[in-house]
Amino acid sequence: MKGTVHSMHPQRGMVAIETAGHGFTIIELLSDTHIEIGDSMAWSPDTGCGSQTYINNTKGSRMRVFAQNHGVTPTQLRQQLKFYD
């Protein structure tokens, strides 16, 4: 699967990756990994959850993440990134 970093909650290490036709994938960073909005990401398996290796194609690096959810809709993004009012 491929996608682009869409939004982030840096204090919680949460990242939303927009995928073409599959909504958003939500990951939690497990280390101090340099990632920015707009970075191109890739991973396999497409819908694997838990501890996974993701590739940041923009930075040419691999990172360990915790894949939280796949197929998230735009209306669910705020909750999934743990932004609370």
pLDDT at 78: 87
Residue 31, in any domain of the structure: yes
Cα separations (Å) of 13 from 21, 22, 65, 66? 25, 22, 10, 10
Residue 20, in any domain of the structure: yes
Tally of structural domains, the chain: 1
Residue 21, in any domain of the structure: yes
pLDDT at 34: 87
pLDDT at 6: 97
pLDDT at 84: 67
Domain that holds residue 26: 2-80
The mean pLDDT values, 10 residues at a time, for the chain of 85 residues are 95 94 94 91 93 96 95 92 72
Are the C-beta atoms of residues 7 and 81 closer than 8 Å to each other?
Answer: yes
Residue 23, in any domain of the structure: yes
pLDDT at 32: 80
Residue 85, in any domain of the structure: no
Residue 35, in any domain of the structure: yes
Residue 42, in any domain of the structure: yes
